[in-house]
Structure 1
Amino acid sequence: MNITYTATTSADADTLVEIRILAMKESLERIGRFDAQRARDRFLASFDPSLCRYIVTDGTTVGFVVVRPMADHVLLDHLYVLPEHQGKGIGASVLRDVVADANSKSMPIKVGALRGSDSNRFYQRSDFVKVDEGEWDIYYVRAAHLETKP
């Protein structure tokens, strides 16, 4: 599997919202929180195309990732893989890239995951530790690890 990343532009906003909704719909419905308009509004309120990248696997767009550099950490703001491409290791591969980049800067990574979604186990398996909870989200941090070479 060959994963690459391509830039997004403001013109991609509707496509990105659609990917977000498709990726989150099942989890949001499970907790009675699915609202397509709210999902759209929340994404667009902070959309910065310079921070967003499509995830492309073997020439097919399968999702997107948004990483925001902050003063004292890296915020993994969005990581969505379309349902038909989930469970194939794509998210794990993208997360490894995010972790490697954060480690190269000696920065911890923070992320929020919807309560009750499979993403909670995904982050916990990747050395993220729960640090807080909100009404709808659980927040995690992954400490910075310095890369050491043998």
Structure 2
Amino acid sequence: MSDLVSRLSLQPVDSGDFEDMLALRVDAMRPSLERVGRFDLARSRERLSAGFVVPFMHHIVIDGEQRVGFVTLKPEGADALRLDHLYLRTGFQGRGIGEWVMRWAKAQARNERRDITLTALVKSDANRFYLQHGFVLEGGEGVDLHYRWHVAAEATC
């Protein structure tokens, strides 16, 4: 696993990457969306389009060329960054890549002295991942759960 992590990097996204990123998002999200009866390709396209903010998006890449996921970390108000997307292709979950991305995101948040907020689907395996990485459940609505990682709380640990 550590060998794989040493081969990871983040690369910028450009507007021409949308279709490939949509396919990746569908691949990563489909099982969770189907569990809650919410998979819809048109809705997936709409959701990604609404959050497609190129300056805050990064491809997750192995060996400088194999795109295995993407992440979006963007400002949200004065005190937080929003982890809007963190998706990995099927077969790349559970290999330490998400943890590597989370370390990067937390380093960005610490540098800016901001918390990190995110939303995850009920019944998604991502919920366990976020709880293991220090996120606190703040509430939910419908099929969405809202989490926050407090940069100040980590500083007191």
* Residues 72 and 85, structure 2, Cα contact 8 Å, conserved in 1: yes
SS at match of 1:84: coil
Q: Aligned equivalents of 1:38 and 1:146: distance in 2?
A: 36
Could you tell me which of 46, 52, 55 is aligned with 2:51? 46
Confirm whether residue 58 of structure 1 aligns to residue 66 of structure 2. no
* Residues 104 and 147, structure 1, Cα contact 8 Å, conserved in 2: no
Q: Aligned equivalents of 1:109 and 1:79: distance in 2?
A: 13
- The two structures, once aligned, show a CA RMSD in angstroms of 1.4
1:12-51 alignment to 2 at 5 Å? Answer: 12-51=17-56
Gaps of 5+ in 1: none
Q: Aligned equivalents of 2:96 and 2:154: distance in 1?
A: 23
Confirm whether residue 6 of structure 1 aligns to residue 34 of structure 2. no
Displacement after TM superposition at 1:58 (Å): 2.3
SS at match of 2:91: helix
AA in 1 matched with 2:59: Y
Aligned residues: 148
Percent of matched pairs sharing the same residue: 39
In structure 2, the residue matched to 1:116 is 123
In structure 2, the residue matched to 1:76 is 83
Gaps of 5+ in 2: none
In structure 2, the residue matched to 1:139 is 146
Displacement after TM superposition at 1:136 (Å): 1.2
* Residues 67 and 77, structure 1, Cα contact 8 Å, conserved in 2: yes
SS at match of 2:37: coil
- 1:16-38 deviations in Å (ceiling 9; x for gaps): 11111100001111111111110
Q: Aligned equivalents of 1:147 and 1:23: distance in 2?
A: 29
SS at match of 2:29: helix
Q: Aligned equivalents of 2:63 and 2:91: distance in 1?
A: 15
* Residues 106 and 146, structure 1, Cα contact 8 Å, conserved in 2: no
